[in-house]
Amino acid sequence: MQVRRLLIENFRGIKHLDWILPIDQKLITLVGPGDSGKSTTLVALNFLLGDRWNIPFSDTDFFEVDTSQNIRIAAILTGIPKPLLKESALGLWLRGLQEDGNITEDPEDGTEPALTIQLVVGDDLEPSWEVYKSGRSQRLTSSQRREFSTFLVDERTDAQLRWSRTSALGRLSAKDGADRSVLAEASRAAQTALQESENSSLLNISNKVQERVNRIGGGVFQDIKPGLDTSRSSLGAGLALYDGSLPLASYGLGSRRLASLAIQQMAAGDRSIAIMDEIESGLEPHRAVNLLRYLQNDQGYSQVFVTTHAPIIVEQADLESLSVAQNDKGQLRIKSLAGTRSRLRALRRSRPSSFLGRKILICEGKTEYGLVQACLDYWDEAQNLLGEPVAVGHGFVLQDGAGGSEVALRCQEMINLGFQVAGLLDHDDSSVQKAVNKALSAGVLVLQWDQGNNTESQVCSALSWRMLEEFIRMGADCRSDDLTVLADLQKAGLPQEQNSLELKSWQESGLTIEVARDIVARAANESEWFKNIESGMILGKWLTERSDSPELKSLWAILNRIQEFIYSENAEG
């Protein structure tokens, strides 16, 4: 069974979502900024297709706590399990699904048989699961919902590591006809009886769990077996999984989640749907990546939905599996990256964190990256004093664009995915202007220095003799010594007879301030005084300490627009 279309209305932070899923995409990895609705989407899917009946809805589950608007979660499903296709079950409720995600009221040639399943919650807070067609609906039974074979892996894993009537291990035992007398003895703390039951079906199940958990990287388990859980007083849930003498519930979060995943998938059977929020939770990067690949390739799943906030997952996932979630005042859009162009593919590999933010500033290079990073520290400090959110609280991500020719092109790619995007680049290369104009037309906030300037020449463009000498001294600190900087300046046009970094001698020789600025800016750029992030931050800190200087007014006009973009909710981009 597969979810082909998902509709969510008035549920938590989602006012409306109408998501047509890519055809034949088994693994769906939701990425995007925090609080965009990724986790809520998975919760909604689990509420709809999971087998829980006693879901405690409250007023706060309604969008903006407006209980006058019903919660509605609906899915169009294909690949319906055979037991549900009988006329006595849901066979008469079949509809037809077209390739574009649209529905016909009855199956037709060129369509796939499909069911529309919905969960509706009104102001009485009572959930109702229904099959829907042609304006009519019929309540679903518990046995029908169980056929959806959908399960959630979250932080509450311990229940799945114990035998009980409702746990996955309990369902596995029921399927295998586990010896009830053994279960009863275990519930009465008969540990001896368990040890003597080496050939029981409980031990067989434990062996299968061990094999599956080891396969997905849960750990190095060698002796998983049933044992008495002495941590709980309830006799009905007294039997649990152990590895040797240690209960699995005592292992770390990542290992417990992987064990829960393995057990629930075994209980759900082949072609199940798995839902896993924050796939990387509790796992080292290598185990998280291994899990991702396992979920992609294991044939026991018909579909897997996960979210992530980990750059390593964005980097290592198949691009076709990634979908970006963007939420605008409750209007949630989810866009697949399948079929995107090569630049976006490369960007996903080189700058994966950009896909996890809401606002992105793409800088021309490391100089600008470091400069803006220093400004962020300065601005965030001011925000803290005011009790206002810092940059990351606004979902801001800074990116090194790796060259001016790339900035505008990357900006276009990212804004097409729904991100708020700005670009900062030099204004000394006319060859990039065509791409810049396209980015502007797409809605990107493109910020360039004054005509003809790069970062160094923009900084130096109005400096006095005193501040120009400070700038040179800062360059000498970054370049290690005065002689190196003097050689840089002479290579940039400083007369050879000038052998001092004290600008008084330059003035006395008749050098004008305009010529001096040009020489210093050219030397700083061509000899790469600030061409790494660390030196860029040194330059940025120097600028923030002089933010009120009239000599830097034109530069700060641009930087102030960056500040507005980051911290304002109504900024351009």
pLDDT tens-digit readout, 529-566: 999 999 999 999 999 999 999 999 999 999 999 999 99
Tokens, residue 455: 């970062």
In a domain, 293, yes or no: yes
Residue 421 above 50 pLDDT? yes
Mean pLDDT of the chain, nearest integer: 89
Confidence label for 181 from pLDDT (cuts 50, 70 and 90): low
Structure tokens at 412: 């276009």
Question: Rg of the chain over CA atoms, in angstroms?
Answer: 31
Domain containing residue 230: 156-252
Q: Do 483 and 363 share a structural domain? A: yes
**Largest Cα–Cα distance in the chain?**
104
Question: Which DSSP symbol is given to 497?
Answer: T
Residue 364 contacts residue 370 (beta carbons within 8 Å): no
Which residues make Cβ contacts (< 8 Å) with residue 292, sequence separation at least 6? 27, 29, 279, 306, 313, 316, 317
Condensed to tens digits (0 to 9), the pLDDT of residues 164-173 reads: 766 777 777 7
The residue among 343 and 488 whose pLDDT is bigger is 488
Residues 570 and 521 in one domain: yes
| Residues 163 and 137 grouped into a single domain | no
State residue 201's pLDDT score: 74
Are 84 and 41 in a shared domain? yes
pLDDT at position 260: 85
Q: How many CB atoms are closer than 10 A to CB 124?
A: 9
SS3 253: helix
**In the predicted structure, residue 459 carries a pLDDT above the cut 90:** yes
Q: Name the pLDDT band for 80 (thresholds 50, 70, 90).
A: very high
Residues 202, 199: Cα–Cα separation, whole Å:
8
- Return the pLDDT at 569: 82
Mean pLDDT of 81-108: 93
Q: Measure the CA–CA gap between 334 and 337, rounded to whole angstroms.
A: 10
Residue 452 has pLDDT above 80, yes or no: yes
% of residues, the chain, pLDDT over 90:
67
Residues 155 and 421: their CA atoms lie apart, in Å, by 34
Instruction: Kindly give the interhelix angle for 513-526 and 482-491, rounded to the nearest 10 degrees.
Output: 110
Q: Identify the band that residue 191 occupies on the pLDDT scale cut at 50, 70 and 90.
A: low
Which tops the pLDDT comparison, 386 or 193? 386
Contact between 131 and 115 (Cβ < 8 Å) = yes
Same domain membership, residue 362 and residue 221: no
Q: Is 31 helix (H, G, I), strand (E, B) or coil?
A: strand
Beta strands in 39-154 (DSSP E): 71-78, 95-97, 103-104, 112-121, 127-133, 136-139, 150-153
Inter-CA distances, 191 with 206, 244, 372, 396, Å: 16, 14, 64, 56
The predicted-structure confidence for 297-341, as pLDDT tens digits, reads as follows: 888 899 999 999 999 999 999 989 999 999 999 999 999 998 777
Q: Pick the last residue of a domain from 340, 365, 386.
A: 340
> What CA–CA distance (Å, rounded) separates 118 from 138?
10
- Reported as half-sphere exposure (CB side, CA atoms, 13 A), residue 544 has a value of 20
Give how many domains the chain has, as a whole number.
Answer: 3
Is the same domain home to 384 and 498? yes
Q: Is residue 259 part of a domain?
A: no
**Average pLDDT rounded to a whole number, residues 385-410:** 93
Please tell me whether residues 142 and 162 are part of one structural domain. no
Q: Are residues 245 and 307 in the same domain?
A: no
Residue that terminates a domain, selected from 220, 252, 284: 252
pLDDT at 82 over 50: yes
* Residues 210, 237 share a domain: yes
Asked if residue 349 belongs to a domain, the reply is no
> At 355, phi and psi to the nearest 5?
-80, 0
Residue 90: what pLDDT?
Answer: 95
Q: Is residue 497 located within the same domain as residue 565?
A: yes
CA atoms of 421 and 419, how far apart (whole Å): 6
Q: Taking 60 as the threshold, does the pLDDT of residue 203 lie above it? A: yes
| Same domain assignment for residues 431 and 549 | yes
Task: State pLDDT tens for residues 513-526.
Answer: 999 999 999 999 99
Q: What angle do CA 43, 395, 65 make, to 5 degrees?
A: 45
Task: Measure the CA–CA gap between 489 and 492, rounded to whole angstroms.
Answer: 5
Asked if the structure places residue 302 within a domain, the reply is yes
Region 137-146: mean pLDDT is 93
Given this model, what pLDDT does residue 193 score?
57
pLDDT bracket for residue 262 (50, 70, 90): confident
Give 435's DSSP letter: H
Q: How far apart are CA 67 and CA 63, in angstroms?
A: 8
